[in-house]
C-alpha cells in the first residue's frame, strides 16, 4: 500500500467518523465538513474503498453514502502475532521503574487501544498472565529534566546544569553540549562536551538538576563516534588509555561463558587443563573489577597487576567486615 499523506489521512479519518453508527452522509455535507470540493470527496471515498477496503456504498433513495457493515479506519493493520508482540513491548516498558518515556508511551497505548479496542486489551491481559519482567533497581530520573536534555540533544543546543557528584551537598555548575543519551543497565547517562573541562564526559542523568536550554547551538564533531568512544568500555566509564586484561575461567564454568559475550573485544581459547583463557581490551578497570567480584571464584585475573590489587583490596574489605572478632 502506498503511503497516504498525513493531511489526507486526517480527512479520511473525519469521513470515517461521519459514517459511524450507521449514519448516511451526502457528498455536499462531507465537502463542507472537510473543507474540500465534492470532486475531492469522491476521490477520498475511492481511496477508502480501494486502499482500506471500507464497505462504502451509495444509497440512491437517500442520495447519501454509508457503511454497509461495521468498520473503523486504521492507518495500518496488525496481525494477531504483531498485536501480541506489541502487548509484550508495553508490558516490558511498564516493568521498567522510573521510565522517563512513560507519559508518551501511555498516550501511545491509549491511541492503540482506541484503534484496536478489545483486540489489544485482550492481548495485554494474555501477556500479563504468561510473561513478566523484573529489572534490577535503577536510579530515579526526573522526567522534566530528562525531557529538557532530550530536547537539547535533538536540537543540538547547549545546556547549563547543576551536577551532583556523590551527594546533594557537592554540586557544580556545568555547561554541556549533549551528544548522546545512553541507557546502561537501566540507568541513563548523558555523553557530551563539557565546556569547563574542555573534553567529552559521561554524566549520570539522575545527578543532574536545574537544567536550562541556552540560545547557543553546536555541531557534533565529525570526529566523534559513539561506537568508537565506548569501543573499549566495559559499561559506561572510559579513560584515555586501553589496557589488556587476561582472565582464566575454571573448566566447570567455561560452557556458561562460551554462551555469552563478556565484551566485544574478547578473544578466547581453551587450555589443556579444560579452563578457558580470555583476553579483553578495556579503557577502565573499576567496572570490570565490580563485575569480577560478582562472579566470585569462577574467574581468576592473570593480568594486569593493578586489577589484581583492586580485587584483593575489595575482597579484604569484605572479609574484614564479616570477620568474627571473637574468634
| pLDDT of 261 | 85
Indicate whether 117 pLDDT > 90. Answer: no
> 326 vs 147, which has greater pLDDT?
147
Alpha carbon 74 to its chain's center: 26
> 140 vs 150, which has greater pLDDT?
150
**Range with the poorest average pLDDT among 12-21, 64-73, 237-246:** 237-246
Indicate whether 129 pLDDT > 70. Answer: yes
Q: For residue 4, what is the DSSP state?
A: P
- Closest by CA to 160, choosing from 215, 236, 202, is 215
Q: Does domain 243-322 have CATH number 3.30.70?
A: yes
Indicate whether 167 pLDDT > 90. Answer: no
> 178 vs 101, which has greater pLDDT?
178
- Which whole number is the average pLDDT over 212-227? 93
| pLDDT of 1 | 46
| pLDDT of 94 | 77
- Is the distance from CB of 147 to CB of 188 less than 8 angstroms? no
- Which residues on neighbouring strands pair with residue 76, listed in sequence order? none
- What are the structural domain ranges in the chain? 6-67, 80-130, 143-226, 243-322
Average pLDDT, the chain: 86
Domains 143-226 and 243-322 share a fold: no
Q: How many CB atoms lie within 10 A of CB 255?
A: 10
Q: How confident is residue 58, by pLDDT bands cut at 50, 70 and 90?
A: very high
CATH tag, 143-226: 2.30.30.520
In the chain the beta strands, taken as DSSP E runs, fall at 56-59, 64-67, 157-164, 171-184, 187-194, 199-204, 208-217, 243-249, 267-270, 276-282, 299-303
Q: What is the DSSP string of 245-280?
A: EEEEE-HHHHHHHHSS-S-TT-EEEE-TTS-EEEEE
- Which whole number is the average pLDDT over 147-154? 93
- Which whole number is the average pLDDT over 136-151? 87
| pLDDT of 233 | 81
Q: How confident is residue 5, by pLDDT bands cut at 50, 70 and 90?
A: low
- Which whole number is the average pLDDT over 144-173? 87
Cell of residue 61, nine digits: 433513495
| pLDDT of 68 | 92
Give the model confidence (pLDDT) of 72-83 as tens digits. 887 666 777 777
- Closest by CA to 298, choosing from 262, 263, 266, is 262
Q: How confident is residue 33, by pLDDT bands cut at 50, 70 and 90?
A: confident
| pLDDT of 166 | 67
Q: Which fold has domain 6-67?
A: Arc Repressor Mutant, subunit A (1.10.10)
Is the previous residue joined to 304 through a cis bond, with omega within 30 degrees of 0? yes
Pick the most confident of 12-26, 155-169, 204-218: 204-218
Alpha carbon 138 to its chain's center: 14
> 255 vs 241, which has greater pLDDT?
255
- Closest by CA to 53, choosing from 68, 42, 65, is 68
- Which whole number is the average pLDDT over 45-55? 89
Model-level pTM? 0.64
Indicate whether 133 pLDDT > 70. Answer: yes
Residues 6+ positions from 181 with CB-CB distance below 8 Å: 149, 150, 153, 188, 189, 190, 191, 205
Amino acid at each position: 500500500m502506498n503511503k497516504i499523506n498525513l493531511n489526507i489521512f486526517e480527512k479520511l479519518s473525519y469521513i470515517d467518523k461521519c459514517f459511524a453508527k450507521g449514519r448516511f452522509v451526502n457528498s455536499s455535507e462531507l465537502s463542507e465538513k472537510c473543507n474540500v470540493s465534492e470532486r475531492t470527496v469522491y476521490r477520498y471515498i475511492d481511496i477508502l474503498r480501494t486502499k482500506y477496503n471500507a464497505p462504502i456504498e451509495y444509497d440512491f433513495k437517500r442520495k447519501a453514502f454509508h457503511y454497509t457493515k461495521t468498520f473503523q479506519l486504521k492507518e495500518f493493520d496488525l496481525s494477531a502475532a504483531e498485536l501480541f508482540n506489541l502487548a509484550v513491548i508495553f508490558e516490558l516498558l511498564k516493568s521498567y521503574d522510573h521510565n522517563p518515556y512513560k507519559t508518551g508511551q501511555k498516550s501511545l497505548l491509549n491511541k492503540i487501544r482506541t484503534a484496536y479496542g478489545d483486540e489489544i486489551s485482550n492481548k495485554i491481559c494474555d501477556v500479563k498472565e504468561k510473561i513478566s519482567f523484573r529489572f534490577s533497581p535503577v536510579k530515579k530520573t526526573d522526567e522534566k529534566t530528562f525531557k529538557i536534555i532530550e530536547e537539547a540533544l535533538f536540537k543540538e543546543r547547549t545546556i547549563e546544569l547543576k551536577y551532583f557528584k556523590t551527594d546533594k551537598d557537592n554540586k557544580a555548575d556545568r555547561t554541556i553540549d549533549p551528544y548522546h543519551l545512553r541507557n546502561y543497565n537501566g540507568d541513563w547517562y548523558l555523553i557530551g562536551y563539557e565546556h569547563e573541562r574542555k573534553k567529552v564526559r559521561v554524566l549520570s542523568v539522575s545527578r543532574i538538576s536545574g537544567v536550562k536550554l541556552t540560545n547557543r547551538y553546536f555541531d557534533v564533531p565529525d570526529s566523534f563516534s559513539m561506537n568508537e568512544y565506548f569501543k573499549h568500555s566495559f559499561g559506561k566509564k572510559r579513560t584515555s588509555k586501553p589496557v589488556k586484561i587476561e582472565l582464566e575461567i575454571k573448566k566447570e564454568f567455561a560452557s556458561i561463558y562460551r554462551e555469552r559475550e563478556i565484551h566485544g573485544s574478547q578473544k578466547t581459547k581453551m587450555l589443556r587443563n579444560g579452563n578457558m583463557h580470555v583476553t579483553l581490551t578495556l579503557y577502565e578497570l573499576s567496572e570490570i573489577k565490580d563485575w569480577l567480584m560478582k562472579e566470585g571464584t569462577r574467574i581468576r585475573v592473570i593480568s594486569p597487576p593493578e586489577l589484581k590489587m583492586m580485587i584483593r583490596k575489595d575482597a579484604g574489605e569484605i572479609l574484614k567486615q564479616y570477620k568474627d572478632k571473637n574468634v
